[in-house]
């Protein structure tokens, strides 16, 4: 029971870590991207198209391409057009959800024709996966989960130990100082959003390739919005964000555990838990966290 | 290319966007001209179509007004969808509780219940914002999901129809259903209520002290606070509650005027389209009526598009998103205190051109 719960937690947390890591990067550069939900669905649809053409590898490439395409839509307006981040992000999400829905119905027939595509199988790591208790849950997962294990410390190192990371953070904290130091805000922000497109696209691809094994309209189901909350909850720190993602993965996994236990609790209550938890957590951390000072401000230059 | 984009962003962005739209439409097998003709016939081609358009426009006008009021005060309420669902739920519950004993107060009571519930739902986000500094963008999004699960639970549980076959409530009694606007037509008085709400909101924003406080808070919370006469927190909370009440009213009117019962897919995303409605109107309440009717026509026409031309109806949300992006690129939309945009006239002035 606990083994299955832990396994489900890690599985549910994987796309959340990827998506939240991408959002963390852009938020440290002073951008809040509600279009992340659209990036996820773009990645999910891209991975479907890729996987039907070129197997799992094609699926991964398709996920990245789909995510980056959506992120480019966002960044051309916000970074180069100086448009409002919230409104643009909302529109980008609407665009991506509508476009993927329409293309899916046109290319793959009407809804209901469920496609089966090659999926990312679990790859148990010898020895480690044999650790009693947590071994199977942590080390018998698809490769994309292991990518997350490496991503989080790498992101921390990049943000706090490299000049590029410093440049990114300076834009989020004090754009004027960044400009004075000769940093191009536009270039760094544009690159940050592209990185978010890659990570968010992979997150969407994970939903298709490692979880559902197929695509459904709107299958991102608000995970992009949750990832934004995770970044706040994780205090804009890579390890904090990873921990927050695991908490959310656990809440989603609880839904299966509770159904298995048959406690008679309506399933909608269980499904609502992660969302309510986000609200409680955001209220709970109030006053003890500080967002990047320039977050949400387009007028940086 | 990038340098040119940075110098003159709007024309390049819009051209690129239209190419993207064209690619999506082409890939989805849409011929824009014939699709446009089908859409037009489906929206305005007959009295029946026109009535369908106005019925569809009613919740869009009210939720669009809800968004416009909130945005004017600098409150990013993107939870109109959830507030609408909760309003529909409360209206259904009250209508069913009142049962067959109806009188002339029945409909006002039911509609007020919906508005109050919507205000209460928005109140959660307002409280989180003012007490804990939780960004309302995130809290209202989360509350949308919670409202969806709430309806999903209720129509399979306490509010399910007695035979327990379908996931929906019983039909509300005849006396709680909105009368037709013109005898014999499908269009109900909810449309008139929506238009009246817009006129009232326009008057309040334009001609009253409360309206001035709201606009001042939206234009610059710091300046409004420094002026010393404006309680910024209370003004934002008021705008949030009024916004929620309008969205809740939209839900109540949808239940009492169109569906007569509560079920899960009651709203095809009215609360999100509402953002486009409000932006196209430049946040001007009067212009919201026009832009609500335009989007109502798009959505009513999209049904015809799917039926007669085989075009997936979701294409319409791509068109709506394109419209929002074109508007923000042209800087027609000046959002108060959102930290964006350059100089220029305030939103209300531009609205007269945009609407």
In this complex, do B318 and A102 lie within 8 Å of one another by their Cβ atoms? yes
Q: List alpha helices for B73-186, DSSP H.
A: 80-98, 106-132, 136-154
In this complex, do B324 and A34 lie within 8 Å of one another by their Cβ atoms? no
Could you count the other beta carbons within 10 Å of the beta carbon of residue A62?
Answer: 28
Q: Taking residues A186-212, what's their average pLDDT?
A: 95
Name the DSSP letter for residue B8. Answer: S
Choose among B132, B338, B342: nearest Cβ to A283: B132
* Site from A108, A228, A272, A281 to mutate, B interface, most B CB atoms within 10 angstroms: A272
B121 part of a folded domain: yes
Q: Rounded distance, CA B225 to CA B235, Å?
A: 11
Q: Which residues contact B93 (CB under 8 A, 6 or more apart)?
A: B113, B159
Q: Taking residues B170-177, what's their average pLDDT?
A: 91
Choose among A81, A94, A282: nearest Cβ to B321: A94
CB B335 within 8 A of CB B71: yes
Q: Average pLDDT over chain A, rounded to whole?
A: 87
Q: Rounded distance, CA A256 to CA A277, Å?
A: 17
The helix (run of H) or strand (run of E) holding residue A140 is strand A140-141
CB B112 within 8 A of CB B279: no
Residue in A closest to B343 by C-alpha: A299
Q: What are phi and psi of A141, to 5 degrees?
A: -125, 165
In this complex, do B152 and A268 lie within 8 Å of one another by their Cβ atoms? yes
Residue in B closest to A270 by C-alpha: B149
CB B54 within 8 A of CB B295: no
Q: Taking residues B207-232, what's their average pLDDT?
A: 83
A53-62, B17-26, B176-185, B247-256, range with the lowest pLDDT: B17-26
What is the tens place of the pLDDT at every residue in B110-140? 999 999 999 999 999 999 999 888 888 888 9
Q: Rounded distance, CA A32 to CA A22, Å?
A: 11
In this complex, do B341 and A82 lie within 8 Å of one another by their Cβ atoms? yes
The nearest CA of chain A is from the CA of B197 a distance in Å of: 25
Q: Rounded distance, CA B238 to CA B217, Å?
A: 11
Q: Which residues contact A236 (CB under 8 A, 6 or more apart)?
A: A24, A27, A28, A289, A291, A292
Could you count the other beta carbons within 10 Å of the beta carbon of residue B174?
Answer: 10
State the pLDDT at residue A16: 96
What is the tens place of the pLDDT at every residue in A63-88? 999 999 999 999 999 988 888 888 89
The structural domain count of chain B equals 1
Q: Rounded distance, CA A240 to CA A14, Å?
A: 15
B1 part of a folded domain: no
State the pLDDT at residue B345: 26
Q: Which residue has the higher pLDDT, A128 or A33?
A: A33
State the pLDDT at residue B58: 97
Q: Is A259 helix (H, G, I), strand (E, B) or coil?
A: helix
Q: Taking residues A291-296, what's their average pLDDT?
A: 76
Whether pLDDT at B352 is above 50: no
Residue in B closest to A286 by C-alpha: B132
State the pLDDT at residue B36: 80
A58-62, B15-19, B42-46, B87-91, range with the lowest pLDDT: B15-19
Of all residues in chain B, what percent carry a pLDDT higher than 90?
Answer: 45
Q: Rounded distance, CA B91 to CA B172, Å?
A: 9
What is the tens place of the pLDDT at every residue in A117-162? 888 888 888 878 878 777 777 888 888 999 999 999 999 999 999 9
Residue where the block lists tokens 């430049």: B282
Query: What are the beta bridge partners of residue A124?
Result: A140
Mean pLDDT is highest, among A270-279, A280-289, B131-140, B146-155, for B146-155
In this complex, do B321 and A98 lie within 8 Å of one another by their Cβ atoms? yes
CB B293 within 8 A of CB B311: no
CB A63 within 8 A of CB A46: yes
Residues of B in contact with A232 (CB under 8 A): 135, 138
In this complex, do B316 and A98 lie within 8 Å of one another by their Cβ atoms? yes
Q: Which residues contact A229 (CB under 8 A, 6 or more apart)?
A: A278, A281, A282, B138, B142
Could you count the other beta carbons within 10 Å of the beta carbon of residue B182?
Answer: 9
What residue segments make up the domains of chain A, in order of their start? Answer: 2-284
Q: Average pLDDT over chain B, rounded to whole?
A: 85
Q: Rounded distance, CA B187 to CA B197, Å?
A: 17
B3 part of a folded domain: no
Q: Rounded distance, CA B238 to CA A204, Å?
A: 39
In this complex, do A103 and B24 lie within 8 Å of one another by their Cβ atoms? yes
Q: Rounded distance, CA A24 to CA A232, Å?
A: 9
* Site from B134, B299, B316 to mutate, A interface, most A CB atoms within 10 angstroms: B134
Domain CATH for B23? 1.10.3470
Q: Rounded distance, CA B219 to CA B235, Å?
A: 13
Choose among B124, B153, B341: nearest Cβ to A84: B341
A293, burial (CB in 10 Å: exposed 0-12, middle 13-18, buried 19+)? exposed
What is the tens place of the pLDDT at every residue in B284-315? 999 999 999 999 998 888 888 888 777 777 88
Label residue A110 by pLDDT band (50, 70, 90).
low
The helix (run of H) or strand (run of E) holding residue B235 is helix B232-254
B4 part of a folded domain: no
Name the DSSP letter for residue B179. Answer: P
Choose among A80, A91, A94: nearest Cβ to B5: A80
Choose among B143, B320, B335: nearest Cβ to A87: B335
The model's pTM is 0.84
Whether pLDDT at B159 is above 60: yes
B299 part of a folded domain: yes
CA angle A16, A17, A20 (to 5 degrees): 80
HSE-CB at B152 with a 13 A cutoff on CA atoms is: 15
Q: Is B103 helix (H, G, I), strand (E, B) or coil?
A: coil
Q: What are phi and psi of A182, to 5 degrees?
A: 85, 20
In this complex, do B28 and A276 lie within 8 Å of one another by their Cβ atoms? no
Residues of A in contact with B277 (CB under 8 A): none
Label residue B150 by pLDDT band (50, 70, 90).
very high
Residues of B in contact with A111 (CB under 8 A): none
CATH number of A2-284: 1.10.3470
The nearest CA of chain A is from the CA of B220 a distance in Å of: 14
Label residue B343 by pLDDT band (50, 70, 90).
very low
Residues of A in contact with B138 (CB under 8 A): 225, 228-229, 232, 278, 282
Choose among A73, A86, A279: nearest Cβ to B142: A279
B320 part of a folded domain: yes
Q: Rounded distance, CA B283 to CA B296, Å?
A: 17
State the pLDDT at residue A33: 93
Q: Which residue has the higher pLDDT, B220 or A92?
A: A92
In this complex, do A92 and B321 lie within 8 Å of one another by their Cβ atoms? yes
Residues of A in contact with B16 (CB under 8 A): 76
């Amino acid at each position: 029971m606990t083994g299955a719960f832990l396994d489900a937690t890690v599985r549910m947390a994987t796309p959340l870590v990827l998506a939240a890591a991408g959002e963390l990067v852009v938020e440290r550069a002073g951008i809040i991207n509600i279009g992340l939900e659209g990036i996820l669905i773009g990645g999910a649809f891209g991975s479907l198209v890729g996987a039907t053409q070129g197997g799992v590898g094609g699926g991964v490439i398709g996920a990245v391409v789909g995510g980056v395409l959506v992120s480019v839509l966002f960044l051309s307006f916000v970074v180069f057009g100086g448009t409002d981040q919230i409104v643009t992000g909302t529109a980008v999400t609407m665009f991506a959800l509508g476009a993927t829905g329409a293309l899916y119905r046109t290319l793959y027939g009407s809804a209901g024709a469920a496609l089966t595509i090659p999926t990312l199988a679990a790859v148990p790591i010898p020895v480690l996966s044999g650790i009693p208790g947590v071994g199977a849950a942590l080390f018998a997962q698809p490769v994309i989960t292991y990518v997350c294990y490496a991503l989080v410390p790498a992101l921390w190192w990049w943000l706090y130990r490299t000049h590029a990371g410093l440049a990114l953070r300076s834009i989020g904290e004090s754009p004027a100082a960044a400009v004075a130091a000769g940093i191009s805000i536009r270039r760094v922000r544009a690159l940050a959003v592209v990185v978010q497109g890659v990570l968010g696209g992979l997150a969407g691809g994970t939903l298709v390739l490692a979880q559902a094994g197929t695509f459904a309209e709107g299958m991102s189901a608000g995970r992009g919005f949750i990832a934004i909350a995770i970044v706040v909850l994780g205090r804009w720190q890579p390890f904090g964000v990873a921990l927050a993602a695991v908490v959310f993965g656990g809440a989603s996994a609880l839904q299966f555990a509770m159904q298995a236990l048959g406690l008679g609790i309506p399933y909608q209550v269980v499904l609502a838990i992660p969302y309510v938890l986000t609200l409680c957590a955001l209220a709970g951390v109030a006053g003890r966290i500080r967002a990047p000072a320039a977050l949400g401000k387009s007028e940086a230059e | 290319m990038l340098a040119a984009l940075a110098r003159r962003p709007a024309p390049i962005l819009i051209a690129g966007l239209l190419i993207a739209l064209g690619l999506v439409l082409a890939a989805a097998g849409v011929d824009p001209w014939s699709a446009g003709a089908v859409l037009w016939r489906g929206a305005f081609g007959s009295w029946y179509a026109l009535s369908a358009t106005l019925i569809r426009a009613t919740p869009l006008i009210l939720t669009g007004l809800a968004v416009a009021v909130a945005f004017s005060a600098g409150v990013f309420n993107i939870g109109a969808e959830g507030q609408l669902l909760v309003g529909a739920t409360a209206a259904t519950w009250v209508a069913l509780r009142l049962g067959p004993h109806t009188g002339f107060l029945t409909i006002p009571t039911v509609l007020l219940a919906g508005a109050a519930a919507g205000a209460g739902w928005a109140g959660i986000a307002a409280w989180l914002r003012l007490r804990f500094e939780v960004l309302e963008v995130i809290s209202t999004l989360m509350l949308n999901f919670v409202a969806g699960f709430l309806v999903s639970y209720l129509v399979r549980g306490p509010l399910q129809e007695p035979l327990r076959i379908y996931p929906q409530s019983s039909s509300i009694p005849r006396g709680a259903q909105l009368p037709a606007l013109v005898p014999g037509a499908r269009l109900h008085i909810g449309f008139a209520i929506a238009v009246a709400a817009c006129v009232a909101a326009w008057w309040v924003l334009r001609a009253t002290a409360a309206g001035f406080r709201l606009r001042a808070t939206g234009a610059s919370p710091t300046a409004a606070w420094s002026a010393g006469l404006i309680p910024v927190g209370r003004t934002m909370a008021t705008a949030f509650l009024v916004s929620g009440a309008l969205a809740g009213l939209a839900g109540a009117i949808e239940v009492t005027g169109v569906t007569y019962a509560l079920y899960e897919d009651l709203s095809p995303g009215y609360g999100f389209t509402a953002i486009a409605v409000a932006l196209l109107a430049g946040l001007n309440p009067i212009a919201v009526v026009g832009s609500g009717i335009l989007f109502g026509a798009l959505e009513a026409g999209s049904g015809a598009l799917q039926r007669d031309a085989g075009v997936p109806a979701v294409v319409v949300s791509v068109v709506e998103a394109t419209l929002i992006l074109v508007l923000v690129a042209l800087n027609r939309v000046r959002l108060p205190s959102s930290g964006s945009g350059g100089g220029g006239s305030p939103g209300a002035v531009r609205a007269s051109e945009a609407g």
